[in-house]
Amino acid sequence: MKRRHILGGIALGTGALVVGWSILPPRQRLQPSQPLPEVDHQSALNGWVRIGDDDKVTVIMSKSEMGQGVFTGLAMMLADELDARWDQIGFETATIDDIYNNQSVAADGLPFHPDNHGPVKRFAQWMTHKTMRELGLMATGGSSSMKDLWLPMREAGASARAMLLGAAANQWQLPASECTVKEGVVSHPSGVSAKFGELAALAAKRPRPSSVTLKTPDQFKLIGHATPRLEGGSKTDGSALYTTDFKPEGLLYACVRMNPELGAPLNSFDASKAEVMPGVRKVLAVPADKGSTAGVAVVAQSTFQALKALRQVQVDWGHGPAQAWSSKEVQNALLQGLSSEDSHTYFEQGDADKALKSAAKTIEAQYSAPYLAHATMEPISCTVWLKNGEAELWVPSQVPDAARHIVAAILGVPKDKVKLHLPLLGSGFGRRLEFDFVAQAAFIAKAMPGQPVQTLWDRSQELQHDFYRPACVSSYSAGLDAQGQVVAWKNRSASQSIAADMVTRLLGVPGGGPDKTTAEGAFDQAYEWPHAHISHTTVKLPVPVGSWRSVGHSHQAFFKESFVDEVAHASGQDPLAFRLSLLKNHPRHAKVLQLAADQSGWGKPLPASPDGVQRALGLALHESFGTIVAQVAEVSLLNGQIRVHRVVCAVDCGTVVNPDGVAQQMESAVMYGLSAALYGEISLDKGQVQQSNFHDYKVLRIDQAPQVQTHMVASDALPEGMGEPGTPPIAPAVANAVFALNGQRLRSLPLRLT
């Protein structure tokens, strides 16, 4: 292993220092650089767990809980190795420390094909893990949380367990090897026993074990078993706390109105009418920062007063580069990108052009997808309190330490003087990876020193000033031989680059280079093409773009799985059999696909709907974030509308930690993906977003929600992502079912019958 790292380092020209660093094992992730903050009657056994003398086990959470159930899954892993009872478990958000940095999200973001297991990939991932341990961020994204902490949380639990055993054995003067732990109690065959709480203080004084033995899957008592959500009860009874629920003494409220033209400036404003209205404390200009658009803010004693006064502010808005762009111009620019020579090849196998020329039959198609907003349930909000050279920050962020850094810089205080509070997030979907609203809140609070200020956007500002899922177009060509077998596959897509856009707005320098997210879902799939060429062209446009649930997979899966279906029908083959023929060397994918087909009744006659309308099935298979998902959608058409009655899902996400959590995320992803598939579209007119609320940016209603059935493939592989992989397959599954019903190919999102 060391020899491979050394050779890889030399091959990449990293130099002797980096090579030497690369062969060292990654630094530990159990003990923080500073001890956990002291809490009365609680003892910290490592950076991930405290145990109180009341027997309560507090698990330290370094990820953001935004409805994906990550607190529960992470606690299950630690509690299982600790051998604690589930009713003992509580949670607390982590302080900022390098041991909490997300290592997996960056390593998984490297632009390698999943089938690539070569030394260069292994070296790059190794180096990325090590680098992120030292220079990374506490981040929740990329469906990486369970994978990232699979070992650290289990090791933390096992280490704490060993320390408790050692403390008990030392107190009883008995061999530790004869003591056992079960359901929060350490005991010895002689009859002596002690609860965790009785041993915690003694255990915390013992040295941390240099190594621990982790449980084997047959020993798991929590992992793999359906377990209730840790925060579920508080969300049911209303006691769960989100950013706007925190009301520090003297809290003021700010509302913001930004230039409706994306990225355009504020020329001037007249606040004379607003300033004399009840409760108004200040009216101020808010600069463009971290990707935001310039605007005006009103600070008042209530949100209602701030919103009411904001309507009375007379504003002269300026214009910027986006004014020349409407939806039609965006589409034309993307289509031009398809014919551009300035593209990056993400995957190449054989000679696709030559194979296409010799094919007996050629199939071609072009697809498109629009901009999408995140439409999170929780409105954009952030509370900042500047006082006596220090600050407090309440922020629903997926990257809390970066948010703290930005607030510190704007307020002009050291970042260690910013006390961070990370509440529950009312969904994220990637929107809380951004910092525009954080910078705004800090700037407004700076104008009101000594008083906490809660900045809140209304829904129109949120929809009209988002970082949108990029609009994208994609062209495909496939060649078949005389027997109907695929001989060539060629694909090129065009869109903006999320990575380049983010670098520009956060660092102020032009972003460039290949961005994996632009083509993920197109180049990194399991289908075995004899000849293939998959490339992408980056198009620069003045529309802010960002990560949206499943990122590039969200639209590339629709393009790819729709065209796979087209080619299957052109070859005269059943869509299931056609896909299976392309997965001969990918048994995990084939197993997932077959499971979904079997559970849906694929190939069997479907009964009509209760109203007598015919139904049909559509199929899609897609891998994202390490997880393989197949979905079969049962669809009917009535009065020009697409109705989805049932979605059968099969999933291989590696080791299933919490089956309930997997099912919940699959249901959530299907509903979110269906909203986009059937309705989602952000349109532009002269640089202004036309949608303003849920009346014109529709989401799926409860009476439109299909039944979702989830079936999990048993696996002992590492846990993989579950927050996002259920979203990509649903749009193509529905579109393919529509084709089965009426022979119409829907190649643009949202899906509209013609």
Q: Give the whole-angstrom CA distance, residue 552 versus residue 538.
A: 13
pLDDT in tens, 182-192: 999 999 999 99
Centre a 10 Å sphere on the Cβ of residue 252 and count the other Cβ atoms it contains.
22
pLDDT of residue 20: 52
pLDDT at 3 over 80: no
Question: Side chain identity at 50, as an amino acid letter?
Answer: R
pTM: 0.95
pLDDT at 111 over 60: yes
pLDDT in tens, 624-681: 999 999 999 999 999 999 999 999 999 999 999 999 999 999 999 999 999 999 999 9
Residue 508 — very low, low, confident or very high, per pLDDT cuts 50/70/90? confident
pLDDT in tens, 384-408: 999 999 999 999 999 999 999 999 9
pLDDT of residue 610: 82
pLDDT at 10 over 80: no
CB half-sphere exposure, 370, CA atoms < 13 A: 22
Give me the percent of the chain exceeding a pLDDT of 90.
Answer: 89
Residue 5 — very low, low, confident or very high, per pLDDT cuts 50/70/90? very low
pLDDT of residue 199: 98
pLDDT in tens, 37-63: 889 999 999 999 999 999 999 999 999
pLDDT of residue 511: 81
> Residue 597, SS3?
helix
86 and 227 in contact (C-beta within 8 Å)?
yes
pLDDT of residue 14: 38
pLDDT at 112 over 70: yes
pLDDT in tens, 115-127: 998 999 988 888 8
Q: Which two tokens stand for residue 203?
A: 């255990």
Mean pLDDT throughout 261-285? 98
Q: Which two tokens stand for residue 35?
A: 């001890």
Contacts of 358 (CB under 8 A, 6+ apart): 479, 487
Among residues 439, 487, 488, 431, the alpha carbon closest in space to that of 459 is found at 431
End-to-end CA distance of the chain: 59
pLDDT at 4 over 90: no
pLDDT of residue 22: 55
pLDDT of residue 26: 62
pLDDT of residue 546: 98
Average pLDDT, rounded, for the chain: 94
DSSP class per residue in 613-653 = --EEEEEEEEEETTEEEEEEEEEEEETTEEEEEEEEEEEE-
The burial of 124, by beta-carbon neighbours within 10 Å (0-12 exposed, 13-18 middle, 19 or more buried), is given as middle
pLDDT of residue 609: 79
pLDDT of residue 25: 60
DSSP class per residue in 350-369 = S-HHHHHHH-SEEEEEEEEE
> CA separation (Å) from 250 to 242, 300, 449, 451, 452?
18, 11, 12, 6, 7
pLDDT in tens, 531-569: 999 999 999 999 999 999 999 999 999 999 999 999 999
Residue 132 — very low, low, confident or very high, per pLDDT cuts 50/70/90? confident
pLDDT at 16 over 50: no
Host H or E run for residue 411 = helix 400-411
Q: Which two tokens stand for residue 419?
A: 């006390």
Mean pLDDT throughout 305-323? 98
